[in-house]
Amino acid sequence: MVSGRRAELYSPAVGAPGDVVAYGHWGRPFLAFPAEGGNAWQYADHGVIGALSGLIEGGRAKLYCVDSFDDASWSNPALPLEERARAHERYESWILDQVVPWIHEDCGGAQEVATLGVSLGAFHAVNLALRRADVFPLALGLSGNYDPAAWGGWGERGDAAYFNNPFDSLAHAGGDHLDWLRSRLSVQLVCGQEMWEETTGALESGHRNTAGQSLVPRQGRRYTCRAVPARTASRTSGG
């Protein structure tokens, strides 16, 4: 049985601590985001850690599972979309300024970290890698919706909402930065085809990618998108 090591890391940006639970002692580090509103124990509670125990115990991967901040950001209907995006950036600050240094220390030095997530966690994994591919060169998104504008947002959108929406910001990207992003970042999107994906917009978001409106334009050789048949799709429960 794989046991987790918990750390509580205070975030000055958020003004509160958040949990990180680490699994494994060797292998490539993965930063794992839970489903909407989930906590750092969600992957263990829903059997994901057990399913990955062979990789973890075999020294092929280390998982660093974190708390979400969704209830105070993207999932807060009382806030206009721009304020939700700004609140999300405080969570991103916690990830970059507290969680990543802790991962590096736990790994014995700075190294590349991959991201993964399910549901809204898939958005976090992919969006963070797109924004900071220098830190996160690999992202795995499972049944995610990558368009915050589709999440019942209201109010005028500013820079925070724009730069945290891959369909907005990357649609107008170009030049040296886009060339670097294509060469640097690997993105794997996987989406089931059941009722959950239909009702959350995850399947539609995936279709927008396969229809040519991809998060990373198709010249990027390291981008893939895959729809998984319903009978083989599995996921962590949650929003």
pLDDT in tens, 19-39: 999 999 999 999 999 999 999
In a domain, 237, yes or no: no
In which residue are the tokens 């020294």 written?
59
Token pair 């997530």 is found at 117
26 within domain boundaries: yes
CA distance 173 to 179: 10
| Pairing mode of beta strands 4-11, 28-33 | unpaired
Residue 201: predicted pLDDT: 53
235 domain-assigned: no
Closest by alpha carbon to 124, among 196, 75, 59?
Answer: 75
Judged by average pLDDT, the poorest of 49-53, 122-126, 192-196, 215-219 is 215-219
Q: Which two three-digit tokens encode residue 42?
A: 């969600």
Query: Across the strands, what pairs with 190?
Result: 142, 226
Q: What is the Cα–Cα distance from 81 to 75, expressed in whole angstroms?
A: 10
Domain-located, residue 147: yes
In a domain, 14, yes or no: yes
pLDDT of 232: 39
The pLDDT, as a whole number, for residue 205 is 57
* CATH classification of the domain holding 9: 3.40.50.1820
pLDDT band at 142 (very low <50, low <70, confident <90, very high): very high
Q: What is the mean pLDDT of the chain?
A: 86
What pTM did the predictor assign?
Answer: 0.84
Kindly state whether residue 38 falls inside one of the protein's structural domains. Answer: yes
- Whole domain around residue 180: which residue ranges? 4-227
| Burial grade of 186 (CB within 10 A; 0-12, 13-18, 19 or more) | middle
> Is residue 120's pLDDT more than 80?
yes
The per-residue pLDDT for range 153-170, each reduced to its tens digit, is 899 889 999 999 998 888
DSSP for residue 95: I
User: Which amino acid is present at 180?
Assistant: W
Residue 202 pLDDT class (50, 70, 90 cuts): low
Residue 233 belongs to a domain: no
Provide the pLDDT for residue 224: 53
Q: Is residue 234 part of a domain?
A: no
The total of structural domains in the chain comes to 1
Q: Is 211 a residue whose pLDDT tops 90?
A: no
Confidence class for position 193, pLDDT limits 50, 70, 90:
low
* Residue partners of 92: CB distance under 8 A and separation at least 6: 128, 131
Give the span between the Cα atoms of 164 and 146, in whole angstroms.
Answer: 9
Q: Residue 180 above 80 pLDDT?
A: yes
Q: Which segments of the chain does DSSP mark as H helices, in order?
A: 42-45, 48-51, 53-57, 81-94, 100-106, 120-131, 159-163, 166-169, 175-184, 195-200, 202-210
Residue 148 scores a pLDDT above 60 = yes
